[in-house]
Amino acid sequence: MKKKISRRDFLKLAGASAATGAALTGCGPSSRFVVREPYTQMPEYALIGESTFYATTCRECAAGCGLIVRTFQGRAIKVEGNKNNPVNLGKTCARGQATLQGLYNPDRVTDPLNQGRRKTLGTDGMNWDDAIKVVSDALANTDPAGIGFLLGMAPDHLFDLVSDLTAGIGAPAPVRYGALSAFEARATLVKAAENVLGQSGLPFFDLANAELTFSFGANFLETWLSPVAYTRGFSKMRKQGKRGYLVQFEPRMSQTGAKADEWIPVRPGTEGMVALALGKLIAESKKQTVPRAFVNVDVKAVAKESDVDEEKLHYLADLFADADRALAIPGGAALGQSNGLGTAEAVLALDALANNFGQPGGVFLSPAAPTEDNVHRPASLQEMAVFINKMNTGEIKTLLIHGVNPVFELPKSLGFEAALKNVPLVISFSTFPDETAILSDYIFPDHHGLESWGYQRVATGTSQSTLSGAQPVVSPFYNTQSTADVLLAASAIAGGKLASVLPFKDEVEYIQAQLIPLIENKDANFNAGEINSFSAYFQQFGGWWTNEAALLAPTQNTLNETLSVESPTYEGEGDFFLVPFVSPVLGEAGANKPSLQEVPDPTTTVMWNSWVEINPETAHEFGIKSGDIIKIVSNVGVIETSAYLYPAIRPDTIAIPFGQGHKAYGRYAAGRGVNPFDLLGLKFNAAGDIAFAGMKVQIIKTGKKFELARMESEIGVYGEGLGEE
Amino acid sequence: MAENISLLALFSDLEPAADAIDKLRDLGVAEEQMNVISGVPLNEAMLGRKEQESNVPKLAFAGAITGFLVGSFLAFVTPYWYPVPIQVGRQAIIPGPPTIIVLFEMTMLFLLLATFLGVFLDSFFPYYRPLKYVPEISDGKIAIFFSCPENQKDTMINSMTILGAEKVEVAEAKQL
Amino acid sequence: MAFKNHIEETHGEQHLRQKHLMLDPKPRGEMNAMVMEAMHTTTWKFWVVVALLSAVVLFGLFWSWGILIAEGMGVAGVNRPSYWGIFLVNTVFWIGISHAGTFISAILRVFKAEFRRPFTRAAELMTTFGLIQAGFSIFMHMGRVWRMYWLMPYPNQRLLWPNFHSPLTWDLLAITTYLLSSTMYLYLPLIPDLAMARDRTKGGWQKIFYRVLALGFRGTEGEWKHLRSAMNIFAWAIIPIMFSVHTIVSWDFAVATRPGWNSTIFGPYFIIGALHSGMGAVIMVLAVVRGTMKNMKYFIRPEHFEAIGKLMLIISMGWAYFFFNDFIVQWYGGDKWTQTLLHYHESGPLGYLWFFMLFVNIVIPWSVLWNKRWRSTPWIVFIVGLLINVGMWIERYIIIPISLTINRSPFTWKLYQPGIEIPLGIGTVALFILLYLAASKLIPLIPVWEVQEGQMAHSLKKYGRESVVTVSELE
Amino acid sequence: MVKKIFSWLISPLGWISLLILALIVFSGIIWGINLTQITPEQPIEFPHDRHISFGIQCLYCHQGASRGPVAGLPTQTKCWGCHQQLGITKTSVLLKPLVQAIEKNEPIQWIPVATVPDFVKFNHRPHIAASLNCEACHGDLSKLTIYENPQILNMGWCLDCHVEKAGDDYEKLVKLTDCGTCHY
Amino acid sequence: MKPIDLNIIGAKGAIAEEAEGKWGMAIDEDLCTGCQACVAACAMENNISFVGEEDAAYGRTMHWIRIERFWEGEYPDVRTTSFQPMLCQQCGHAPCEPVCPVFATVHSQADELNLQVYNRCVGTRYCGNNCPYQVRAFNWRDYERPEPLNNQLNPDVTVRQRGVMEKCTFCIQRIHQAEDTAKSEGRELQDGEFDPACAQACPADAIVFGRVDDPDSKVSQLSRQKRGVKHLEDLATLPRITYLKES
C-alpha cells in the first residue's frame, strides 16, 4: 500500500532510471557493450526485473477512461485499460493505446521557453523560477477582468483550481473548449435534455439493454461522448438474448453506420424532421392517438425533403413500434445543423414516445459528478466567439492556455489566430509545440498526462458517479512542470489575495483537499478514514466511484407540446453538403503519434493523411478518379485534398475528416493533410453550437494526383484495374 | 645394360605414325616404352596400340556412392541432429519426395566431382615441372616418344626418318 | 558433256565445302593461329565497351547492392503481397539462359549433332556465367544476405541444419550442383585448347596463366582417354541435372499454395521456357561473335544459325504447347482466385505484357524461323533471339510479381513496382557480357581440337552423281 | 617478373609462405572475434571474491534472479548501506566512484558482462527454480574480482544443458528445446 | 503429447484428424466495430515499427493484425461486410513453415504455435508468399524510431532488424509470463488469466483468447457455435482462430 508521496519525492524515487532501451539492437548480438544504470534509490515498491503497474486516467480525450500503465525500470512500456474503472472496464481505444507515443514523443517542449510568438518553436530557454515569476507578474499585474483562462475539455482538477483562482480574484471563469465538443454538439445535447427531459445534464443512453436503436447521427463507436463505454454498450446490446438491432440515420456512413444493421442516408439537416415523421407513424402503428408533439408533421413532405422513401419510413416506424425496448439517440452531425436543437428535441421525443425514460434500454441523465461541478459542459462555439470578441476588443489582457489548441481546433473564420495578436500577453502551458503554443509569448510546458497528478470528473459513459484519478507513472522526462504547481507557486509569489485564494503547497495538496468531501460517502469502491489513506487508495484504484448506479431518471414528458423542426438552412453556395467528422483514430490531438498515424481509418483504411469522401457515382460524373486532388471551395475558405471514392455517402454530400492539417505540432503532424475547419462558416444553432454540417461547398478537380496510403487494396476491394468483369 | 635414352619422332600424319609404331615394335621397343602425343584425340586402334586403362568410370561410380551417402546423411541424419526434430507444417520429419531430390542432387554432384577429380588423378594433373614435349603437337602433329638403349639411337633415327618423320631428336624435358 | 558434268560436280562439292565447316578443313596450325589471332585482336571499340560495362557493373551492380544491403529491401520494389520481385525473375531468367549451354554441349553431344562443334564452348560459357548471375540475383533477393551461410549444410553448435522440406534448399543444392558440374564441364574440354594457347604464347603473364590452367596437359594417349571418358560421363550425367535444376526452380512456385502457381505442368513448362530463352541467347552470342571477332566467319557459318533456328522453332512450338496446357487447365478448372488471376494477367494494368509475351514468344518465331533463308541470316535471328529473351523475361515477370498480386486475401492485393532491382538487373546483364568479353580474350572461344576432330570425321562420298556428306564415328 | 614469382610460389618455400600467410589472416580474424568477447572495463573494479568471502549471498544484491527474468544490479544505496559503516570506504581509491555516485546521486554505469543478445529471452526464475545455483552458469565467483563469463554463452551451450536436464522426460525435452522457449 | 512422426514417406493424409491445438482465438465479427484498438495495442506491445506514409501506401505496413472490410451492394443499400480482424491464424498445418530453408518459421510442439524465429531468418520471404492469409510482415528497412520513442520498447519482445520476417505471436511473451507465474505459484493456468494485447484492448470484447484444447474454456465454447467458421478452411491449414459470423 502506498503512503502519501509528494510529487517531488516521487521524482527522486523513480530516480534516474535505466537506459536499457537506448541500445536495443535488433537481431544482432551487438547489444553487448551497453551501459546499464541501476536506480540510484529504488522505489520501495519496485522489484528488480519486475514491471510496476500504475493506475491513471487517459488524457487523450475527455471521456476519462481508466488506464493501467506497465512500467519497467522507470520507463512506461504499455498502456492497458483499468479493469475497475466503470467507464471502460479494462478496455481502451486506439488513441488510448498510443498515448505513450505522446509521452515519448520526440517533439515535446522540453523546457520553459520565451517563445515570443515566433513562427517555429523557439530555442530561448528559461529556468522555472523566471517562468513562475512571469506567470506571477501576469496574474498580479493584470486587472482580474483582463485575465482569460482557456482550458481543455476535460473537467479535471486544473479546471477546479483555475475556477477557484478566478473566482477568488474576481476574474472571468475559465473557458473550456475542445474540437470534440463542437463535433459532438454537446451544448445542443445539454440544451435539448433541459428542454425535453426537464433537467440539465448530459443524457445517458442505455445502449446495452436496447433492443432497437435509432441513432440520428450519433457516432458513438468513434468519438461521441465516451466511445469506449458506448462500444461496450454496443457489444452488450449485440450479445443480449435477442440481438439488438441498430439503425443509423446519417448522410455519410460512419464507422457506427457501418456496424448498423441499416443505414439510412438522410439529407443532411433533415434528421429531426424524419424523427418527427417517424413519431407520427409510430404512434399510428401502435394504434395510439398521435401525441401533440407529432401532429403537425406532413410525412410526405418529410419523405421528399429528407430523401427517405415514405415506405421506408413506414417500415422503420413499424420496427420501432414493435420493439420492446426501443431507443433513439441524437448526436453528432445531426445536431450540427441550423435546426440542430429541434432535431435533438425531436429525437428525444421519440424516446418519450417509446416510453423509455428511466427504463432499461432507455434514456437517463448522467449521474451527478462526485465533486462540485460549476460549469458542466465545455463552451459552445458561440461562447467561444464571444470569448474571441473579448480578445479582439482588448478586454483580455493576459491569456493563459492549457490543454487546448484553439488555433487548430476552432474554425478559421472565428479568427482566433488574428485575435491572439490583440492580446498583450499569451502564455501557453502546452506539452507539445502546437500551433497555439508557438504563437504564444511563453510556453511553460506542463507534464505529459502520464507524468502528472490529477483527477477528472467523468461526465458521462457510466452509470456510476465517477471521479477518475491520475498519477504519474514515470518521472518527468523533460524539464517540465505541472501547470497547477506553476499557478500555485505563482500565486504564492504574487502574495496578497492571490496567495490567500489558493493556500496550497502543491498540486497534490490541492487534489487531496478536493477529495476530502468524498471520504464521507461510504458506498464507493473503497473506504478510508482519513485523507492520506483515501488518497493512496484513490491512486491505487485509479479513481473513486459509487458502487450503485447513480443514473437519474428523467421525469418530464414533453409529448403534449407541439414540436416542429424547421427546414435546415445552409451556408454557402455549392452543389455539395459538407460533412466534416472527427477522425475516429486520430481524434483532435492524435496526429503527432506516428503509430496512430499508421493505424488505418476504420471505414476508409487511409493512413497518414486527409481525404475527401465522394460518392463514386458523383465522382464519375465529375470525372474524378480515386486519388485525384480536389479543391473544395466554401464561402470562407478553400482546401485541397485527395479524393476517396466512398460508396456509402450520399451523392450530394462530401465528407472530410478532422484531425490532420496541422501546421506545427511535431514532425509527424505538421504539414500533413488538411483541416476542414478552414471551410466552416459561422452559422450557429439555437443552442449556440456551430452548424458544422450545414455548409454547401463546391468541388473543383485540380488535375493533380496524390495516392492515399490505404491499408486496403484498391484492386481487391474496389476491383480497380481488374478490367471489365 | 646400356643406358636408355629417350627419343622423339614427329609425324604430321596418322598413317606414317602408325607405321612407325609398328616399326618400333619390330625394333624391340616395348609397348610401354612408347608414348604417342597428339593434338587431337586419337583412338588406340588408329595407331594399332592396345587400349589404355582409365580409372575415371570407376572413380565416378565411387563418387556416386559417396554422394548417395552424403545425401542420405543430409536427408536422414541431420533432421535428427536437433534434440527434438523440428516440425514444419505437419510434414514428417523426413519427408519422402524432398528426400529423393536431396539424394539425387548429392549423388550427381559427387559423381561429377569424382569424375573431374578422376581426370586429375589419372593424368597426374596438375604437373608444372619440366616435361618432354614439343609445341608442334598442338598444331596437329603426332609425336612418338620412345626410349631405347643409347647404342640404338642412330638406327632408330634412321628408320623413323625413312618412315616420314619430320624430325627425330633426343627428347628433352622442358618447362612447358 | 562429261566435262560439263565434272564442272557441276566440283561446283556442288565446292558449294558444300563452303557451306559446311566440317567439310572445309584447314591445317590445324592455321586454325590455331586463327583462334589465337581472334583472341588477341583487340580494337579500341572493345575497350570502350569494356569500360562502359565496367562502369555499369560498378554502379548498377555493386554500388546498388551496397545500398540494398545497407538500407534493406525497402529500396527495392518488393511489398506485400509481392514478396518476390525482379530478383527472382532474374534468377529464373539467368538459370534459363544457362540451360542452352548444357543443351548444346551435352544433349547435342550425346546425340552427335555435328553442327554443335564450333560453338559448344560459347554455349557452355553462357551456362557458367549465367549461373553466376542467377546466384547473384538470389543473394540480392535475401533480406539478410550476410546470413547466407545458414543455407549451407555444415555442423554447428546450434545443431541446426538446413530445412530439406524447403524448395529453396533444394534449389540451393541443385544450383550448386549445376554450377559446379557445368563449370567442370566447361573446363575439361578447355584443357587441350589451353595447352594449345600455352604453346603459342611466348611469355608474359598470359604464358603463366595458360600454363597454370593447362595443368601440364600434353596430349598423351592416357590424357585423351581420361578426358574423353570423363566428358562422356559428364555429357550423360549433366542432362538430368539440368532438367532437375529448372524443375526445382519451377517447384519454388508450383509447390506453393497460391492461385496460378500450384500447377503440375510447371516443371516441363519451365524447362522448355529455359531452352527457349537459352537458344535465343546462344544465337545472339553467336551472331555477335561472328560479327565482331576476327576469323570467326570461318568457324561460325549460316549453317549454324540455320540449325539453331530450326531448334528454336521447335522449342517455340513446345513452349506454346506447354503454355497452352498450363493455361487451359487453370482456366477450365480454376477456382475463383485462379480465374481472377488469369483475368488479371490479360486485362490488368499490365495486360499488354501478357499479349506482348505471346507475340514475341510464339508469333514472331513461327512467322520468321520457318524460312530457311531468314533463319540463316544472323541479324534476323539475332533480333528474334533478342525478342524471345525479352518475351521470356516478361513471362517470368508475369509468373512472379504480377501473379503475386492476386492471392486469396483480396484486402492485400497490391501491384508491384520495381525499384533498385532495375539497376541491379542491368548490372547482372552487364556483368554477364563483361565476363563473356573477358573470356573471349582469355580463352579460345572455339574448341579447336573438337573442330579438327569433326573435320577428320567428315568427308564427301559420291553416290552416283551426288556428293553426300558422310560422318565416320571416331568417338 | 611474374614468371619469377610464379616459379617461387610453386617451390616448397612458396607453398609454406602461402600457408603461413593464410594462417596469419585466419588468426587475425579469430583475434578480432575474440576482441568482442573479452570482459569490458567496469567503473568500479568490483571484487566479487571479497564480498563472497564475507558471506554475502548472490541474491542479496542480485535479488531479481529468484523472482523474474533479470537478476538485476543493486542500487548504490544498497552498497552504501554497508559501505558507509566501513572506514575504508572513504580512503580506498577503488571505492572513489561509489562515493562520488552517492554524493552526486548519479547511477553507477555498470557494463553488463553475462549478456545474451536481444533476441534471446532469458529468464532467471525457472533456472533457479530448477535448483540450478548461480555457479552452474556464472562460475565460481569467489575466485574472481570483476565478473568474467566462464564460457561463451551461445546456443549450443544452452542447448546442451537443456537436453541434459530434460533427461528422459520427453515432454520436458520438447519444451526445453522449443524455439519459442527462448526466441520471440 | 504425441511422439514424433517417424513416417519416412511424409504423409499428409491424416491432418484433418489432428489435435485441435493448444492456444486459440474466437473472434466475433458481429461485435467487432473495426475501431482499430487491437491494431494500436498490438503495435505498442510488440514493438512494431511505423513505416511512414510512402511505405504504408505501398503495402509495407508492419501491423501484425489488420481489420479487413469489403463493400456489398450499391448505394443506397450499400454496406460494409463485417469488420474482420486478420492476424496470424497459427495454423496447425501451416503452409509458411515447410518452405523456409533455414527453419526460421517452425511449428512449436510445446505451445502448438506457429513460431517466427527472427534471429534465424535470412529473409527469403517465401513464407510471406505462401501464407494464404497474408499476415506476415517483412522488415523492409530499419525503420527509424527517433529518440526518445525507443523508451517505450517492450523488453520482452525482440526488436527486429531489417530483412527479417515477423508476424503475430499470440503474444507469446505473455503466454510464457503467465505460465511462469502460474508455475511459480504452483497452480494451473486459469482460463482468461491473461490475454494477448489485442484481446485485452478490444472494447467490444470481440476477441476471446484461450485454450482450444480445453472444452470448458470460453474460447472453445464460442468456437463451437454454429456461426463459427475458419477462414479459408478449404486449404486445410487448420487455423486456430474461429470467426463468428454475423447472424
Using a CB-CB cut-off of 8 Å, the residues of chain E touching C72 are 139-142, 162-163
Q: Which residues contact A161 (CB under 8 A, 6 or more apart)?
A: A484, A487, A488, A502, A510
pLDDT tens digits, A317-336: 999 999 989 999 998 889 99
Task: Judge contact between E106 and E117, C-beta under 8 A.
Answer: yes
pLDDT tens digits, A443-483: 999 999 999 999 998 888 888 889 999 999 998 989 999 99
What span, in angstroms and rounded, lies between the C-alpha atoms of E54 and C75?
A: 12
- Contact E88/D at CB under 8 A: no
Residues A73 and A187 in one domain: no
Cβ of A678: how many Cβ atoms within 10 Å? Answer: 17
Give the gap in angstroms from C-alpha A721 to the nearest C-alpha of chain C: 5
pLDDT tens digits, E116-138: 999 999 999 999 999 999 999 99
Burial of A91 (0-12, 13-18, 19+ CB in 10 A): buried
Residue by residue, what is the 3-state secondary structure of chain C? Answer: CHHHHHHHHHHHHHHHHHHCHHHCCCCHHHHHHHHHHHHHCCCHHHHHHHHHHHHHHHHHHHHHHHHHHHHCHHHCCCCCCCCCCHHHHHHHHHHHHHHHHHHHHHHHHHCCCHHHHHHHHHHHHHHHHHHHHHHHHHHHHCCCHHHHHHHCCCCCCCCCCCCCCCHHHHHHHHHHHHHHHHHHHHHCCHHHHHHHHHHCCCCHHHHHHHHHHHCCCCCEHHHHHHHHHHHHHHHHHHHHHHHHHHHHHHHHHHCCCCCCCCCCCHHHHHHHHHHHHHHHHHHHHHHHHHHHCCCHHHHCCHHHHHHHHHHHHHHHHHHHHHHHHHHHHHHHHCCHHHHHHHHHHHHCCCHHHHHHHHHHHHHHHHHHHCCHHHHHCHHHHHHHHHHHHHHHHHHHHHHHHHHHHCCCCHHHCCCCCCCCHHHHHHHHHHHHHHHHHHHHHHCCCCCHHHHHHHHHHEEEEEECCEEEEEECCCC
> Which residues make beta-bridge pairs with A455?
A469
Q: Do B95 and C164 touch (CB under 8 A)?
A: yes
What local confidence, expressed as pLDDT, does residue A499 receive? 87
Using a CB-CB cut-off of 8 Å, the residues of chain E touching D155 are none
pLDDT tens digits, A156-179: 999 999 999 999 998 999 999 999
Structural domains in chain E (count):
1
Q: Do C208 and D156 touch (CB under 8 A)?
A: no
Q: Over 90: is that where the pLDDT of D101 sits? A: no
Half-sphere exposure of C229 (CA within 13 A, CB side): 26
Q: Do E109 and B87 touch (CB under 8 A)?
A: yes
Q: Do A716 and C343 touch (CB under 8 A)?
A: no
CATH code (residue A250): 3.40.228.10
Of the candidates A106, A98, A67, the one whose C-alpha atom is nearest the C-alpha of residue A84 is A67
% of chain A exceeding 70 in pLDDT? 93
What local confidence, expressed as pLDDT, does residue A549 receive? 84
pLDDT tens digits, A503-561: 898 999 999 999 998 998 888 899 888 899 999 999 999 999 998 888 888 877 678 88
Which DSSP string corresponds to chain E?
Answer: -PPP---SS---GGGGGS---SEEEEEETTT-----HHHHHHHHHTTPPP-HHHHHHTT----SEEEE--EES-TTS-EEPPPEEEE----TT-TTTTT-TTS-EEE-TTT--EEE-GGG-----HHHHH-TT---EE--S-----TTGGGG--TTSPPPPTT-EE---SSHHHHHHHHHHHHHTTSPPPTTS---HHHHH-TT--EEEEESSSTTSHHHHHHTSTTEE-TTGGG----SEEEE---
What local confidence, expressed as pLDDT, does residue A561 receive? 83
What span, in angstroms and rounded, lies between the C-alpha atoms of A624 and A614?
A: 9
Q: Which of residues 124-153 of B touch C (CB under 8 A)?
A: 124-129, 131, 133, 135, 137-140
Using a CB-CB cut-off of 8 Å, the residues of chain E touching D129 are 183-184
Q: What are phi and psi for residue A440, nearest 5 degrees?
A: -95, 165
Which of A98, A103, A221 lies nearest to residue E35, judging by beta carbons? A221
Report the length, in residues, of chain B.
176
Residues A222 and A355 in one domain: yes
Give the gap in angstroms from C-alpha A53 to the nearest C-alpha of chain D: 16
Q: Do B115 and C234 touch (CB under 8 A)?
A: yes
Q: Do E30 and A97 touch (CB under 8 A)?
A: no
pLDDT tens digits, A363-394: 998 888 887 765 567 889 999 999 999 999 99
What span, in angstroms and rounded, lies between the C-alpha atoms of C171 and C176?
A: 8
Nearest CA in chain E to B97: E9
Q: Please, which chains are in contact with A (at least 3 CB pairs closer than 8 A)?
A: C, D, E
Q: Give a yes or no: residue E152 inside a domain.
A: yes
What local confidence, expressed as pLDDT, does residue A373 receive? 63
Of the candidates C133, C240, C130, the one whose C-alpha atom is nearest the C-alpha of residue C186 is C130
Give the gap in angstroms from C-alpha A606 to the nearest C-alpha of chain C: 13
Pairing of strands A147-151, A398-402: parallel
Domain of C344, in residue numbers: 2-471
Selected for mutation to probe chain E from A37, A77, A609 (highest E CB count within 10 Å) is: A77
- Contact C210/B at CB under 8 A: no
Of the candidates E109, E197, E215, the one whose C-alpha atom is nearest the C-alpha of residue E157 is E197
Which of A35, A40, A49 lies nearest to residue D67, judging by beta carbons? A49
Q: Over 90: is that where the pLDDT of A705 sits? A: yes
Structural domains in chain C (count):
1
What local confidence, expressed as pLDDT, does residue A18 receive? 33
Of the candidates A538, A414, A419, A413, the one whose C-alpha atom is nearest the C-alpha of residue A470 is A538
CATH code (residue C262): 1.20.1630.10
Q: Do E106 and B88 touch (CB under 8 A)?
A: yes
Mean predicted confidence (pLDDT) in A346-356: 90
Q: Give a yes or no: residue E5 inside a domain.
A: no
Report the length, in residues, of chain A.
725
Domain of E155, in residue numbers: 13-244
Using a CB-CB cut-off of 8 Å, the residues of chain E touching D174 are 1, 109-110
pLDDT tens for chain C, 475 residues long, are 334 444 455 667 788 888 888 888 888 888 899 999 988 888 899 999 999 999 999 999 999 999 999 999 999 999 989 999 999 999 999 999 998 888 888 888 888 888 888 999 999 999 999 999 999 999 999 999 999 999 999 998 888 999 999 999 999 999 999 999 999 999 999 999 999 999 888 878 888 899 889 998 988 888 898 998 999 999 999 999 999 999 999 999 999 988 889 888 999 999 999 999 999 999 999 999 998 888 888 999 999 999 999 999 999 999 999 999 999 988 888 788 898 899 899 888 898 999 999 999 999 999 999 999 999 999 999 999 999 999 999 999 999 999 999 999 999 999 999 999 999 999 999 999 999 999 999 999 999 988 988 888 888 888 887 888 888 877 6
Q: Over 70: is that where the pLDDT of E43 sits? A: yes
- At A520, is the secondary structure helix, strand, or coil? helix
Q: Give a yes or no: residue E1 inside a domain.
A: no
Q: Which residues contact D5 (CB under 8 A, 6 or more apart)?
A: none
Q: Over 70: is that where the pLDDT of D1 sits? A: no
Give the gap in angstroms from C-alpha A42 to the nearest C-alpha of chain D: 7
Q: Which amino acid is at A26?
A: G
Q: Give a yes or no: residue A469 inside a domain.
A: no
Q: Which residues contact A311 (CB under 8 A, 6 or more apart)?
A: none
Mean predicted confidence (pLDDT) in A584-593: 91
Cβ of A376: how many Cβ atoms within 10 Å? Answer: 16
Q: Do D183 and E118 touch (CB under 8 A)?
A: yes
What local confidence, expressed as pLDDT, does residue D3 receive? 67
Q: How confident is the model at residue B2 (pLDDT cuts 50, 70, 90)?
A: low
Q: What are phi and psi for residue A339, nearest 5 degrees?
A: -100, 25
What local confidence, expressed as pLDDT, does residue D44 receive? 85
C-alpha cell read off for A609? 493523411
Q: Do A713 and C351 touch (CB under 8 A)?
A: no
Q: Do A721 and C415 touch (CB under 8 A)?
A: yes
pLDDT tens digits, A5-35: 333 333 333 333 333 333 333 333 334 456 6
Domain of A683, in residue numbers: 576-718
Residues A198 and A57 in one domain: no
pLDDT tens digits, A411-452: 999 999 999 999 999 999 999 999 999 999 999 999 999 999
Cα dihedral value D124, D129, D131, D135, nearest 10:
20
What span, in angstroms and rounded, lies between the C-alpha atoms of C245 and C274?
A: 11
Q: Please, which chains are in contact with D (at least 3 CB pairs closer than 8 A)?
A: A, B, C, E
What local confidence, expressed as pLDDT, does residue A374 receive? 55
Nearest CA in chain E to C149: E122
Q: Give a yes or no: residue A193 inside a domain.
A: yes
Using a CB-CB cut-off of 8 Å, the residues of chain D touching C201 are none
Q: How confident is the model at residue D78 (pLDDT cuts 50, 70, 90)?
A: confident
Give the gap in angstroms from C-alpha C208 to the nearest C-alpha of chain D: 7
Give the gap in angstroms from C-alpha C104 to the nearest C-alpha of chain B: 19
Q: Do C159 and D6 touch (CB under 8 A)?
A: no
Task: Judge contact between A452 and A482, C-beta under 8 A.
Answer: yes
Is the preceding omega at residue C81 within 30 degrees of 0, hence cis?
Answer: yes
Using a CB-CB cut-off of 8 Å, the residues of chain A touching C343 are 722-723, 725
CA D182 and chain centroid, separation: 18
Element (H, E) at A58: none
Q: How confident is the model at residue D2 (pLDDT cuts 50, 70, 90)?
A: low
Residues A589 and A709 in one domain: yes
Q: How does the average pLDDT of chain A come out, rounded? A: 88
Using a CB-CB cut-off of 8 Å, the residues of chain E touching C162 are 101-103
What local confidence, expressed as pLDDT, does residue B137 receive? 86
Nearest CA in chain A to D41: A33
Q: How confident is the model at residue D37 (pLDDT cuts 50, 70, 90)?
A: low
Q: What are phi and psi for residue C474, nearest 5 degrees?
A: -95, -30
Task: Judge contact between C379 and C287, C-beta under 8 A.
Answer: yes
pLDDT tens digits, C319-369: 999 999 999 988 888 788 898 899 899 888 898 999 999 999 999 999 999
Q: Do E119 and A599 touch (CB under 8 A)?
A: no
Q: Do E183 and D126 touch (CB under 8 A)?
A: yes
Residues A79 and A194 in one domain: no
Nearest CA in chain E to A477: E148
Mind listing the domains of chain B with CATH numbers?
4-40+140-174 (3.30.70.260), 56-122 (no CATH)
CATH code (residue A592): 2.40.40.20
Task: Judge contact between B176 and C211, C-beta under 8 A.
Answer: yes
In this prediction the pTM is 0.91
Q: Do A39 and D118 touch (CB under 8 A)?
A: no
Cα→Cα distances A27→A31, D119, D153, Å: 9, 6, 16
Residues A212 and A82 in one domain: no
Domain end: A103, A134, A153, which one? Answer: A103
Element (H, E) at B42: none
Q: Give a yes or no: residue A279 inside a domain.
A: yes
DSSP alpha helix (H) spans, A151-226 = 157-169, 179-184, 186-192
- Contact C72/B at CB under 8 A: no
List the single range of A229-243, D78-92, E42-56 with lowest mean pLDDT: D78-92
Chains B and A touch (3+ CB pairs under 8 A): no
What local confidence, expressed as pLDDT, does residue A534 receive? 92
Domain end: A333, A365, A397, which one? Answer: A365
% of chain A exceeding 90 in pLDDT? 63
CA A532 and chain centroid, separation: 32
CATH code (residue E181): 3.30.70.20
Q: Please, which chains are in contact with B (at least 3 CB pairs closer than 8 A)?
A: C, D, E
Q: Which residues contact C41 (CB under 8 A, 6 or more apart)?
A: C293, C294
What local confidence, expressed as pLDDT, does residue B71 receive? 94
Q: Do D111 and A24 touch (CB under 8 A)?
A: no
Domain end: A103, A126, A154, which one? Answer: A103
What local confidence, expressed as pLDDT, does residue E48 receive? 93
Structural domains in chain A (count):
3
List the single range of A281-290, C424-433, D1-10, D128-137 with lowest mean pLDDT: D1-10
Pairing of strands E165-166, E137-138: antiparallel
Q: Do E117 and D181 touch (CB under 8 A)?
A: no
